[in-house]
Amino acid sequence: MSFALIFEQLLNGVQLGVMLFLLAAGLTLVLGIMNMVNLAHGSLYMIGAYFAISVGQWSGSYLLGVAAALVGTLLVGMLVEVVALRTLYQRDHLDQVLATFGLILFFNELIAILFGRFALFASLPSYLQGHIELFSGIRYPLYRAVMIGVGLLTAVLLWYVVTRTRLGMLIRAGASNRTMVSALGVNIRLLYTMVFGFGAALAGLAGLMAGQIYTVQPGMGELILIQVFVVIVIGGIGSVRGALVGALIVGIVDTMGRAFLKPILETVISAAAANTAGPALSSMLIYLLMALVLALRPAGLFPARGG
C-alpha cells in the first residue's frame, strides 16, 4: 500500500462524494425548506442524463447537450412542482412519498416509451478524454478530475447564493416562517417553484456528468437515491453545508472501504474469511456510519438553523 495508491483512492472517494453532493444539495433544499419528501429527485437526475446525451448526439456538440440538460431539468422541475407537488406541501409525508413514488413510475415509463429500454450510448468529447499526471506516476482520468472541479465549484456558488444574496435570504426566511414571509409581500409560491427548479437543475448536472460513466437507462435514478438519502441524514436535513460534508464523508468512506478493508482484514484473519467479510462489511460501512451519526447527533452533523 503505497502513498500514491492511497492518494489516488482518496481522489476517487472525493469524486464519488462530489457526485453525491450534487444530488443531495437539491434534495436537502427541497426537504429542509419546503418540508417536502421528493423521491422523484432521482428521476430528474435520469432526465438530465437523457437530455445531455440525446441533444449532444443529435447536435454533435457535447456542450449543447450540457446546456440542454441544465435548462431542460430546470424547466421539467418547475413544471412538476406547479402541476403535481404544489398541492402536497400541506399534506403529511406519507402522501408526499406516495405521490412522488408515482412520479418515479411515470417518468421511468415515459423514458422507456420515448427512448426504449436499451441503455444509451455515450461518448466523451476528445478534449475530456485522457489522463492528467499528478505526481510520481499517478495518472488520473481527466474526466473524473473535471467532475471534482465542477462539483466543488457548484458547492462554492451554492454557498454564496444561499448565504450572501437576497434570494438566499428569502429562501432561508421562507424555510423559517412561510406565513410571515408571504405576509411581507413576497411571492412564496414563485420562490418555492424556483427553489425546486434549481434543485432539479443540480440533479440534472449530476445526471449529465454521470451519463458518461454510469449506465443511462430507465430507472437509473433509483440506484443512487438511497446513498443520497444517507448523505442527507448524515449531513443534516436542509443544510447545504451538511450535504457537502456528508457527501464527501460517504464518498470517501465507501471508496476506502471497498479499496482497503479486504487487504487490512487479510492481515488479521484468514484470506478466505476476509474474502467473505470484506465485501459484506464494506457495503455496510456507510449505513453503519449513518447509524453512528444518528445515535450521537440525531439531527445530523450540520443541522439547518431555524425552520
Distance (Å, whole) CA 240 – CA 165: 15
Q: Is 85 helix (H, G, I), strand (E, B) or coil?
A: helix
> What is the b/e burial string over 140-173, where b = at least 16 CB atoms within 10 angstroms of the residue's CB?
bbebbbbbbebbeebbeebeeebeeeeebebbbb
Torsion of CA 93, 43, 10, 142, to 10 degrees: -160
Which grid cell is 208? 449529465
Q: Is 132 helix (H, G, I), strand (E, B) or coil?
A: strand
First-to-last alpha carbon distance for the chain, in angstroms, is 47
Which grid cell is 88? 402536497
Residue 213 is a binding residue for another protein (CB under 8 A):
yes
Which CB, 120 or 233, lies closer to another protein? 120
The 3-state secondary structure of 9-45 reads HHHHHHHHHHHHHHHHHHHHHHHHHCCCCCCCHHHHH
Contact stretch for another protein (CB under 8 A) within 28-36, 37-45, 74-82, 280-288: 280-288
Which CB, 218 or 236, lies closer to another protein? 218
| Of the candidate residues 218, 236, 242, 246, the single one contacting another protein (CB under 8 A) | 218
Question: Least distance to another protein from the beta carbon of 5, Å?
Answer: 5
| Of the candidate residues 58, 59, 113, 117, the single one contacting another protein (CB under 8 A) | 117
Distance (Å, whole) CA 48 – CA 34: 22
Question: Least distance to another protein from the beta carbon of 54, Å?
Answer: 13
Which CB, 7 or 89, lies closer to another protein? 7
Tell me the per-residue interface mask from 147 to 186 with another protein, x by CB under 8 A, - otherwise: ----------------------------------------
Cα 138 from chain centre: 28
229, 177, 214, 194: which is closest to 20 by C-alpha?
Answer: 229
Distance (Å, whole) CA 44 – CA 84: 14
Residue 41 is a binding residue for another protein (CB under 8 A):
no
Tell me the per-residue interface mask from 220 to 259 with another protein, x by CB under 8 A, - otherwise: x--xx------------------------------xx-xx
Distance (Å, whole) CA 164 – CA 275: 50
Residue 123 is a binding residue for another protein (CB under 8 A):
yes
| Of the candidate residues 84, 106, 275, 301, the single one contacting another protein (CB under 8 A) | 275
Residue 193 is a binding residue for another protein (CB under 8 A):
no
| Of the candidate residues 43, 240, 282, 290, the single one contacting another protein (CB under 8 A) | 282
Contact stretch for another protein (CB under 8 A) within 66-74, 110-118, 171-179, 298-306: 110-118
Distance (Å, whole) CA 73 – CA 44: 6
Question: Least distance to another protein from the beta carbon of 16, Å?
Answer: 6
Residue 118 is a binding residue for another protein (CB under 8 A):
yes
Which CB, 13 or 197, lies closer to another protein? 13
Question: Least distance to another protein from the beta carbon of 4, Å?
Answer: 9
Which grid cell is 70? 441544465
Which CB, 57 or 61, lies closer to another protein? 57
DSSP 8-class letter at 140 = E
Residues forming the site for another protein (CB under 8 A) = 2, 5, 8-9, 12-13, 15-16, 19, 108, 112, 116-124, 129-131, 139, 141, 143-144, 210, 212-220, 223-224, 255-256, 258-259, 262, 275, 278-280, 282-283
